[in-house]
Amino acid sequence: MLYSFKNHYPTKPPERLRFPDGRTRTNPSTFSDWELLELGYVKVPEPPSISSNEELLWTGSSWEVKTKEPPVVDLQSLREDLIRQVDQKLQEIEWRYQRYQRLQRLGTTQIDNLSDLDTYSHRLMEIRNQEDPTNVEWPDLP
């Protein structure tokens, strides 16, 4: 059972009661509703079940279920973050281009396929111009 102390958010009854005359009791199973009420605790019904798009509020006297507001999406911030992610992914493969050039100068067998790297880089660059920054399909790294 839940109790609200002076209209605060409901909790279980305290482990210890201190009465106005100085007496204390520490066995919650022996506390009567009358004693709790006398000390400012009011019995509260169990809260209702809520869904993931709702929140439960205590008004001070009753439970209130409120529908959550959808989050405000800042598209400009999302676009900027998307551009940063694309730039980071491009930087992460830059060493592979450098290795390709080095192996080409040495006349050694290539490890990377330059065409695949170029295709991947191009697809990343196309993401930067995408209209909807919330729905991104990232290309697979070759």
- Give 5-45 pLDDT, tens digit per residue: 989 999 988 899 988 898 898 988 888 888 898 899 999 99
> To the nearest whole percent, how much of the chain has pLDDT over 90?
63
Residue 109: predicted pLDDT: 93
pLDDT higher than 90, residue 62: yes
Confidence check: pLDDT of 70 > 90: no
CA dist., res. 133 & res. 52, Å (int): 25
**DSSP conformational letter for 27:** -
Whether the per-residue pLDDT at 131 is higher than 90: the answer is no
Inform me whether the pLDDT recorded for 142 exceeds 90.
no
N-term to C-term CA, the chain = 60
The pLDDT assigned to 134 comes to 85
What is the number of other CB atoms lying within 10 angstroms of the CB of residue 31?
Answer: 19
Instruction: Kindly report the average pLDDT of the chain as a whole number.
Output: 92
Helix orientation angle between 114-128 and 75-106, rounded to the nearest 10 degrees: 160
Distance CA 42, CA 39 (A): 9
Model confidence at 91: pLDDT above 90: yes
The pLDDT assigned to 30 comes to 87
Residue 74's pLDDT is 87
**Mean pLDDT value of segment 108-116:** 93
Contact predicate 7/61, CB 8 Å? yes
